[in-house]
C-alpha cells in the first residue's frame, strides 16, 4: 500500500500555520478589543468601524481644549436631527462643568477621553486605571450616567490599556474617518475628507474647538443626510452584545 513520508519540520510548519489561522480569528466576545496574533506575540485591537448593511455612521467630537464652539455644534446637530458622541477629557470636564451638563441634557452621548490627555502607552497599568476611573467619576457626577466608551488620546494604545478597558467594561473606540479638522483646514476641505472616506458603519473623528468645525459639521451633515446616511452616536452604532472584532478593528455582529 503506497504511503508518503512527511518530515518533522514540515509537520511543524503546517501546525504553525494552523495555529496562526486560529489565533487570527480569535476576538473577545463583547469585550473592548480583538486579539490578533503577530507571530511571537498577540496584539489587542479597539473598534475602528462597524460592519453593517445599514446606511448609518457615527460622528464624534473630542474635547480637550476650549468650549466656545460646542453649543453651536450642538445646534447644528439638532438642526439635522443627528446623534453624536462627545469624548471628554477630565480637565475639560473640570473647566466646563456646565457645558458637560448641557451636552447631556441635549441628549448627546458622552464618553471619556482620559483624565489628563496623556499618551496612555507610556503609563503603568495602575496609572491607566486611575486616568480612566477618575475621568469616568467626573462625568458621572454631572450626568448621573454610566460611561461605556473611551477614546485613547492621540489614538495611542497597547494591550495593557485595552485590558484595563475590558476590566472597566469600556469599549475602546478609534475611527476610520479622520476629518483632520485640527489642522486648520477649511470647512469645505474637512467635509471633502469625510465625503471621500465615509461608508456604512464609519466612525468620524472631529474636535469640538477646531477652526471651522461648526461650518464643517453643517456641510458634513448636509452631505451625509442627502446621501442617505443616518448620523448617530457611537454607542448607537456599535454592537453591545454578541459581536466580534477582526484584525482591522471592524466590529461584526455574530
Largest CA distance in the chain: 83
pLDDT in tens, 177-230: 999 999 999 999 999 999 999 999 999 999 999 999 999 999 999 999 999 999
pLDDT in tens, 72-124: 999 999 999 999 999 999 999 999 999 999 999 999 999 999 999 999 999 99
pLDDT of residue 9: 54
Place of cell 481644549: 65
Structural domains present in the chain = 45-253 (3.20.20.370)
The band of 156, judged by pLDDT with boundaries at 50, 70 and 90, is: very high
- Locate 102 and state its grid cell: 448641557
Q: Is 96 helix (H, G, I), strand (E, B) or coil?
A: coil
* Half-sphere exposure for 213 (CA within 13 Å, toward CB): 29
In this model, does residue 11 exceed pLDDT 80? no
Q: What gap in Å lies between CA 37 and CA 44, rounded to an integer?
A: 9
Section 3-11 average pLDDT: 46
> What residue ranges in the chain does DSSP mark as E strands?
34-37, 42-45, 49-50, 56-63, 85-88, 109-112, 149-150, 171-172, 177-178, 203-207, 230-232, 243-245, 250-253
Amino acid at each position: 500500500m503506497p504511503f508518503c513520508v512527511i518530515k518533522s519540520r514540515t509537520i511543524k510548519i503546517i501546525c504553525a500555520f494552523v495555529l496562526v489561522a486560529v489565533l487570527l480569528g480569535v476576538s473577545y466576545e463583547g469585550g473592548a478589543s480583538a486579539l490578533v496574533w503577530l507571530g511571537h506575540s498577540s496584539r489587542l485591537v479597539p473598534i475602528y468601524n462597524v460592519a453593517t448593511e445599514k446606511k448609518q455612521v457615527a460622528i464624534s467630537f473630542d474635547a480637550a481644549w476650549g468650549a466656545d464652539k460646542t453649543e453651536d455644534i450642538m445646534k447644528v446637530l439638532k438642526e439635522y436631527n443627528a446623534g453624536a458622541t462627545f469624548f471628554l477629557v477630565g480637565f475639560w470636564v473640570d473647566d466646563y462643568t456646565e457645558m458637560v451638563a448641557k451636552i447631556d441634557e441635549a441628549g448627546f452621548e458622552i464618553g471619556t477621553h482620559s483624565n489628563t490627555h496623556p499618551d496612555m502607552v507610556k503609563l503603568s497599568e495602575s496609572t491607566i486605571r486611575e486616568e480612566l476611573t477618575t475621568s469616568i467619576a467626573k462625568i458621572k457626577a454631572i450626568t448621573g450616567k454610566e460611561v461605556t466608551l473611551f477614546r485613547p488620546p492621540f489614538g495611542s494604545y497597547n494591550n495593557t490599556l485595552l485590558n484595563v478597558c475590558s476590566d472597566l467594561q469600556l469599549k475602546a473606540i478609534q475611527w476610520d474617518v479622520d476629518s483632520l479638522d485640527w489642522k486648520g483646514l477649511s470647512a469645505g476641505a474637512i467635509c471633502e475628507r469625510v465625503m471621500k472616506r465615509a461608508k456604512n458603519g464609519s466612525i468620524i473623528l472631529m474636535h469640538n474647538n477646531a477652526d471651522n468645525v461648526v461650518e464643517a459639521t453643517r456641510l458634513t451633515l448636509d452631505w451625509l443626510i442627502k446621501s442617505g446616511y443616518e448620523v448617530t452616536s457611537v454607542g448607537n452604532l456599535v454592537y453591545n452584545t454578541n459581536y466580534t472584532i477582526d484584525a482591522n478593528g471592524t466590529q461584526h455582529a455574530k
